[in-house]
Amino acid sequence: MVAEDHVVLRQGLVNTLSECKDIQVIGQGSNGAEIVKLIRDNIPDIVISDIEMPDSNGYDLAAYLKKEYPTIKIIFLSMYYSPFYASQAIKDGVSACLPKECSFEVLLEAIRSVHSYGCYFKKDIGKILISDLMAEKTFDLLKDQIKLNHREVEVLIHLCDGKQNREIADLLNLSIATIDFHRQSIYKKTDISSVALLVKYAIKNGIIGI
């Protein structure tokens, strides 16, 4: 199944996947809630989901599926990809996390790997996960050190990209006041007071690349 709120993108993905002999698309929806309704009648092996969707986003969907349908594997396709972000998603139970600009061949490789082995991640993600294990640190401990939740990391990525509160609010379907709240929370948690220093912080912690 495919969860994506942009109709053209979703339909293009569904049509292309349907051309693959070893893949059958059995449902599609514009958010997590629509996928949940479909799953009640027909359980898929894999759900490919956007992260930011109206009403019920990818994280909501992943949390629900992990609890109610643990055999279903989830692949995130995100505009806001970074090794840190992807590693966090995988640690939270997602089987793969890919940037939307990835090639269709990479997506197919991920789908087949997740179906056969239960997971798929690029080398940059693997380095973070392996580094944590070698240091005998769980990702939860790393997350506690960084202290930012999923939404704050998302806002941080946009801030580092030079976007203003209004732009971020439009992209995430949130109010400007909510974005400002997250922004102030990021400053407080990181003890940083400028975007320039936030960029250094994000690079140091692997949230964004150089």
Q: List, for residues 171-210, the tens digit of each pLDDT value.
A: 888 999 999 999 999 988 888 877 778 887 887 777 776 5
Mean local confidence (pLDDT), 47-60 = 87
Judge if 52 and 101 occupy the same domain.
yes
CA separation, residue 65 to residues 8, 17, 58, 197 (Å): 25, 22, 10, 37
Does any domain span residue 59? yes
- Residue 210, domain member (yes or no): no
Q: Say if residue 126's pLDDT is above 70.
A: no
Q: How confident is residue 84, by pLDDT bands cut at 50, 70 and 90?
A: low
- Say yes or no: 62 and 166 in one domain: no
3-state secondary structure of 47: strand
**Whose structure tokens read 């401990």?**
141
Q: Are residues 110 and 191 in the same domain?
A: no
- Tell whether 166 and 66 lie within a shared domain: no
Query: Please, what is the end-to-end C-alpha distance for the chain in angstroms?
Result: 34
Q: Is 209 exposed, middle or buried (0-12, 13-18, 19+ CB in 10 A)?
A: exposed
CA distance 200 to 202: 6
DSSP state at residue 94: -
Nearest of 129, 43, 52 to residue 92 by alpha carbon: 129
Residue 99 covered by a domain? yes
Is 63 among the domain residues? yes
Indicate the SS3 state at residue 75: strand
Task: Give the three-state DSSP class for 101.
Answer: coil
Residue 11 domain boundaries: 2-132
Residue 15 lies in a domain: yes
Q: Are strands 28-29 and 96-99 parallel, antiparallel or unpaired?
A: unpaired
| Residue 85 pLDDT class (50, 70, 90 cuts) | low
One domain for residues 108 and 180 = no
Domains: count for the chain: 2
Q: DSSP character for 182? A: H
123 and 22 belong to one structural domain: yes
Backbone φ/ψ region at 2: left (φ over 0), alpha (ψ -120 to 50), beta: beta
Provide the CATH number for the domain around residue 34.
3.40.50.2300
